[in-house]
């Protein structure tokens, strides 16, 4: 590589001017159209209506396994475990 020439293909200065013009003409357009905001409003409502519903979790509320997991989580987060 010579003195100041940068061969990084991500550098627009190293790309052909036509290619740079084509990229610039897209002006921030996403390469995909996914995402919640782009969904059909009915589909959004269907998904949003499920918010707050419990997933079929692996613990029975109040079970010894749930208490143990809570204790471990509290210790990992730096929380107090004075209740023991």
Q: Per-residue pLDDT tens for 17-48? A: 998 888 888 877 666 667 777 888 898 888 88
Tokens linked to 84: 């023991």
Contact (Cβ atoms closer than 8 angstroms) between residue 60 and residue 66:
yes
**pLDDT surpassing 60 at residue 70:** yes
Tokens linked to 55: 């997933």
Instruction: Determine the pLDDT at residue 82.
Output: 56
CA-CA distances (angstroms) from residue 37 to 30, 45, 46, 52, 74?
13, 11, 13, 20, 35
């Amino acid at each position: 590589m010579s003195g100041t020439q940068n061969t990084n293909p991500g550098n627009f200065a190293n790309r052909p001017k036509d290619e740079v013009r084509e990229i610039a003409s897209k002006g921030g357009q996403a390469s995909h159209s996914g995402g919640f905001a782009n969904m059909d409003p009915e589909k959004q409502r269907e998904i949003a209506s499920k918010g707050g519903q419990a997933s079929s979790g692996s613990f029975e509320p109040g079970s010894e396994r749930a208490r143990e997991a809570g204790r471990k989580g509290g210790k990992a987060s730096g929380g107090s475990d004075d209740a023991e």
